[in-house]
Amino acid sequence: MTGFGWVAFAQGLAPAAGAALAVMFVTFAVALLKGVHRVVDVAWGIGFAAVALVSYRMSAGDGDGVRRLLVTALTVVWGLRLALHIARRGRGHGEDPRYAAMLAKAPGHPDLYALRKVYLLQGALVWLVSAPVQAAQYVDGRPTGWVWAGCALWALGFAFEAVGDRQLARFKADPAHRGLIMDRGLWAWTRHPNYFGDFCVWWGLFLFVVDSPAAAAATAVAPAMMSWLLVAGSGKALLERHLADRPGWAAYRARTSGFVPLPPRRG
C-alpha cells in the first residue's frame, strides 16, 4: 500500500491556508483602490496556484518528486489561465451585478461585509477544495495508472474550459450577437462547458491521491464540494436563474444538456 505522510501533511495545512488568505487580503486591498469587488473572481485561480506552490515548497523531501511536480504544475497552469481569462473579461467594466446587489443590502459597512462574506469565504473554499493538491505532495511511491488517468481527465477538463471560454468570448465580441444565447461549438453540447471542464479538472487532480486510500478518504470532500459549487451553488444554478428570462433561453435549455456534454436533442 502506498504510504502517506500524515504528520507532514498536517503541518503543511496552516501554510497553505495562509497562502490562500494572503491572496484574498491583497485582492481586497486592490478592490478598495479600484472601487470594485469583482477583482475577487481573478483571485480564485491565483489562490489555488499559490496554495499549490506553497505546498510544493513545504513538502520538499517528502512524497514522490514526479507526483509533486505534476500536481503542482497542473494546478498552477489551470489557476493562472482562469485568472487571466477573468481579468481580460472584466477589463473596463464596473462592479459585477452580483456583488452590487449583495453590497446594496449589506448591514453595516459594505466593504467589511464583502471581506467577510466574499473574500474570507473564498479563501476558505480555496484551501478546502485544494486539499487533494496539498495531500498529493505527501503520497509516497512512483505514479501509477491513477496519476496518469488524473492527468488525462485534467487535460479533458482544461480543454473544455479553455475552448468554451474562448468560444463564448468570440461570440460576445460580435455586436450582432448582443442579447442572443450562445449555442454553438461546445455550447451546443452542454450549457456549461466551462463548468464541466472545472468538474473534470478537480476530479482529475483528486486521482493523484487515490494510490493512498487514507489520503483519498481524507480529501474526497474537496472535489465533492467543487462539484456542488459548480452545479448547485454559485455556478450553473445561479447563472441559469439569471438567464431564465433571456429570449431563446427556454428553447436552448430544452435541446441542450445541462452539464455533461451530449448531442443536441432534436424536435
Segment 105-136, tens digit of pLDDT: 888 888 999 999 999 999 999 999 999 999 99
Residue 97 has pLDDT above 60, yes or no: yes
Percent of the chain with pLDDT over 90: 81
Segment 177-206, tens digit of pLDDT: 998 999 999 999 999 999 999 999 999 999
- The set of cell numbers assigned to 9 is 501533511
Rounded to two decimals, the pTM is 0.94
Spatial CB neighbours of 82, under 8 Å, sequence gap ≥ 6: 44, 45, 161
Residue 266 has pLDDT above 90, yes or no: no
How many beta carbons lie within 10 A of that of residue 153, not counting itself?
19
Q: Which residues pair with 4 in a beta bridge?
A: 139
Q: How far is CA 76 from the centre of its chain?
A: 11
User: Using CA atoms, how far apart are residues 153 and 204, in angstroms rounded to an integer?
Assistant: 5
Residue 60 has pLDDT above 80, yes or no: yes
Spatial CB neighbours of 41, under 8 Å, sequence gap ≥ 6: 86, 90, 96
Break the chain into its structural domains and give their ranges: 6-255
Counting runs of H as helices and runs of E as strands, what totals does the chain give?
Answer: 13, 0
